[in-house]
Chain A
Amino acid sequence: MNSAIRLMLVFIIALEISLVANLSLNIAVIIGALAILFWQHLHLKTFLFISLLALLPALGIFLSQLYYGGSHGFYRGIILFSRLYAYVFLGLSFSLTTSPINLAHALEQNLHVPAKFIYGILAALNLLPRLRYEIKVIRANGNMRGKTLHPWQPTLYFKALILAINWSNNLSLAMQSQGFVENEPRTHFSKPIVTKLDWSLSLIILGAVQCIIIFCH
C-alpha cells in the first residue's frame, strides 16, 4: 500500500480511538495491527520487549482509573489500557513496514508536502546515527579536557545544539550546491503510485472501524 495513504489511514484510526471510548474498537485495532506485524515477520522478541515496555504506563493509567475513577473506574481503566496498546501497535505496524525514503517520496509526490521539509527531515534522520556517536565523543572530549560532562549539565546540550546548528547550515549549503531550490519543480526518479486497490482497501478498513463504533458498544 502507498506509504502516504497508509500514514493517513493510521492517523485517522488513531484520532478515532482517541475520541471514542469503545473497547471492541481498541481490541479490533490491536488484533488488526498485530496481524499485519506478524505477517511482516515481526520477531517474537521485539513484540515481547515492546509489550513489556508499554505495560508500565498502561498499568499506571489502569490503576489510577481503578482507584480514583469513581463508579466506572474499572471500565474506563480497561478502555485506556487497551487504547495505549492500540496506539503502540498501530504506530509499530506503520513504522516497521514503511521505509523513510518511500514515505518521503509519497509525501512529496502524492500529498504535495513541500520538498524542503521532506529532504530536511530525511537528512536529519540520516544524521541520527552520527548524533549518537557525536554525543559519546562530546563526553569523552570533556574527560580529555578535564571537565566531566553529566547529563544534567547544560554544556552537553549546548555542544549538541552547536553541532545541530552547524549541521543545518552546512546541509542547506550542500542542498543548494546540489541544485536544490525551494519551490522549484523537480523531476522524480521513483514514482510512488496510488492504486485503486489502495483506495478500496482504505475505505473497507475505515468502514469496518465505523461499523464497530456504531454497532459494538
Chain B
Amino acid sequence: MPNVKIDNFTFKYKNQKPLFKNMTCTFPDHNLSLLTGPSGCGKSTILKMIAGLAPSNWKTTTGKIYLGQRAITAVKPSERTPLVSMMFQDPNQQFVMQTVQEELTFALENIQVPASAIRDKITNALAFCEIPELCERQIISLSGGEKQKVVLAIMVALDSQIMLLDEPFASIDPMAKQAILAKLVELKTNYHKTIIIADHDLNGYQGLADKLFTVDSQRQTVVASAPQQISVILKQHQPVPLKFSLPALRQLPTFELLQFELLRSQRLLIQARSFRFYPGVTLLTGASGSGKSTLLKSLSRLTDYHGTILFQQRPLQKFKSQQLYHQLALVFQQAESQFLAVTVQEELELAYRHRLSTYWTTAKIQTVLTELKLTDTQDQVVYQLSGGQQKKLQVLLLLIRDPEVLLLDEPFAGLDVASIFSLEEILQKHFSTRGRSLIIVSHQLTEQHHFFQYHVHLQQQHLSYQEGLL
C-alpha cells in the first residue's frame, strides 16, 4: 500500500499570497491521518492536489507529490481511481444519477467492472456501510448524513488504496460521524487503506486517528504532531456537557406549531400537536436526517407543511412575503446561496443600505470585520472566499439587516474553535442581548457557556425542551 509523500511543495492561488512554501510531509500508508487547521488554511487544497483534481484558478506549484513511488503527475487519469478517491464537504453535489443504485452502477462502470459483477459489488458496498435499505432510494430524498454514507459506499466499491475525505462531517451529526469513522477504521485495519481526513473539528477522533497534521499558516507549511502528543491533543476535544434552562411558559412565543406535521418525500419527519419556541437563543439538535433543517425551512416558509405555524401570534401563511421577511430571516446552510453581490465590499454596502434599524454603523461594521478576520478580504469576490470566511460574512450580512428573529442552519460548519467563539460573541453582543431571538441548528458545539439559553431536541418525530445535551 502506498504512502502519500509531499516533497518541497509550493502552492499559490491566482492573485493571492502563497498558501504553502517548500512544504514537505508524509502521510504514512496503512494509517488514518487527520489533517487539521483553521478554516481557509488550505486543507482542502492539499487533498485536491493529492487526488489530482487541480483547482481551476491555481497558479504556481513547484515540488512533487508522490503516491508510493509514483509522482502524481506521472499517473494517467485512467490509473488514478485504483490509487485514490475522495469525499467532498457538500453532500449535495457528489451525485450524477437519480438513485443510489444507479450512482454506484455509474461508478463501477467507470472503473470497468464486468457487468456480471456489478450487482454483487453494490450489495457488498452497501452492506459494509450498513445502508442496504437505501439501495433503491432517490438521492434527493436522503439526508446529509445518509448522502455521505452513500459516498462512502461508492469509495468502498471503487476500492481505491488511498481514501481522502475533505471536511466530510461539517453538516452531519456526531452519531453519523462516529458511524462513518468506525467504517474508516475498519477499512484501514482490515483492508489496509491509507486514509486522510481533513477536519477542523477534532471532536470524536480520540483513539481513532494514528497521525495528526496541522496546517501552520504563519510558516506556510504542515506540521506533524509527535506520537505521544496526539492523544493529549485529541483528549482536549472531547465534547463538554452543556447546561440549558427550561423556558418560562407564561411568556409569549415567537413561533407556535399547532397540529403540525412535516414530511419529506412522504416520510413523516416531525409531528407536534402544540409546540412553542420562545424569545431568546434556542439550540435545535437531533440526528442527521431527523428534519432540523426542514423545520427551519418551514418556519421561514420555504417548504410546505401541514397544520398551522403562528409567528408572533399570527398564521405564517397570512403574511405577505416582504412583510414576513422584514421580521425574520434564515441563514442558509449553503453560504453562497445568500450572496447577492460580487465582492465582499459590495455585499456589506448592500446590507447596510437595506438595514432595518439604525443599530449598525460603519464603525461597528469595521470592528466586527476585524474580530472576524475579514478585513483583508474586502476586495475579494465572495464566491472565491474559503468556506469558513463565507460563513462568517454570511452571518454578518444578516446581522446588519437586523430582523427580529434569525434562524441559523449550521452557522458554525467548517469553522475552527476560535472563529466559533468570536461569531458566538458577536451574535450575543449585537443581536440576542438586544432582545432579538435566535434559533440555531448546530453540530458544532463549543464549551462556551451561556450562549444558548434553551435546548430543543428532536427525537422520534417529537420536539422537546431539554436541560442537558443528551
- Whether A and B are associated in the same complex: the answer reads yes
Docked-complex contact A144 and B115, CB < 8 angstroms: no
A143 to B328 CA separation, bound complex (whole angstroms)? 10
The 8 Å CB contact of A144, one of B95, B339, B350, B401, is B401
Inside 8 A of B397's CB, which chain A residues have their CB? Answer: 145
Docked-complex contact A143 and B325, CB < 8 angstroms: yes
- Smallest Cβ distance from B211 to chain A, in angstroms? 23
A188 to B85 CA separation, bound complex (whole angstroms)? 21
Docked-complex contact B398 and A178, CB < 8 angstroms: no
B16 on interface, CB distance cutoff 8 Å: no
B158 on interface, CB distance cutoff 8 Å: yes
Docked-complex contact A122 and B325, CB < 8 angstroms: no
A106 to B96 CA separation, bound complex (whole angstroms)? 18
B227 on interface, CB distance cutoff 8 Å: no
Inside 8 A of A184's CB, which chain B residues have their CB? Answer: 77-78, 110
A171 to B106 CA separation, bound complex (whole angstroms)? 14
Assess A145 versus B351: contact at CB under 8 Å? Given A101-B102, A171-B96.
yes
Residues B311-334 near A (CB distance < 8 A) = 321-322, 324-326, 328-330, 332
Docked-complex contact B78 and A181, CB < 8 angstroms: yes
A205 to B339 CA separation, bound complex (whole angstroms)? 54
A177 to B350 CA separation, bound complex (whole angstroms)? 38
A85 to B300 CA separation, bound complex (whole angstroms)? 44
Inside 8 A of B330's CB, which chain A residues have their CB? Answer: 140, 144
Chain B: CB-nearest residue to A165: B383
Docked-complex contact A119 and B88, CB < 8 angstroms: no
Inside 8 A of A191's CB, which chain B residues have their CB? Answer: 115
Residues A132-188 near B (CB distance < 8 A) = 134, 136-138, 140-148, 155, 159, 162-163, 166-167, 169-171, 173-181, 184-188
- Smallest Cβ distance from B331 to chain A, in angstroms? 9
Residue among B110, B114, B154, B353 with most chain A CB within 10 A = B110
Interface residues on B, range: 35 or more
Docked-complex contact B81 and A174, CB < 8 angstroms: no
Docked-complex contact A138 and B337, CB < 8 angstroms: yes
Inside 8 A of B158's CB, which chain A residues have their CB? Answer: 178-179
- Smallest Cβ distance from A176 to chain B, in angstroms? 6
Inside 8 A of B301's CB, which chain A residues have their CB? Answer: 140
Docked-complex contact A179 and B401, CB < 8 angstroms: no
Inside 8 A of A180's CB, which chain B residues have their CB? Answer: 106, 110
Inside 8 A of A130's CB, which chain B residues have their CB? Answer: 92, 140
**21 CB < 8 A contacts A-B:** A119-B96, A137-B302, A140-B330, A141-B340, A144-B401, A145-B329, A145-B401, A146-B353, A146-B355, A147-B354, A159-B340, A170-B94, A174-B96, A178-B96, A178-B107, A179-B158, A181-B78, A186-B109, A186-B110, A187-B112, A187-B115
For the complex with contacts A137-B332, A144-B328, 17 further pairs of A-B residues with Cβ separation under 8 Å are A123-B97, A126-B139, A137-B337, A140-B321, A144-B401, A145-B401, A155-B340, A159-B339, A170-B93, A170-B94, A177-B88, A178-B106, A178-B110, A179-B80, A184-B78, A187-B114, A188-B109
Listed in ascending order, the chain A residues whose CB lies under 8 Å from chain B are: 101, 119, 122-123, 126, 129-130, 134, 136-138, 140-148, 155, 159, 162-163, 166-167, 169-171, 173-181, 184-189, 191
Q: Which 3 A-B residue pairs are closest in the complex by CB-CB distance?
A: A146-B354, A179-B81, A179-B110
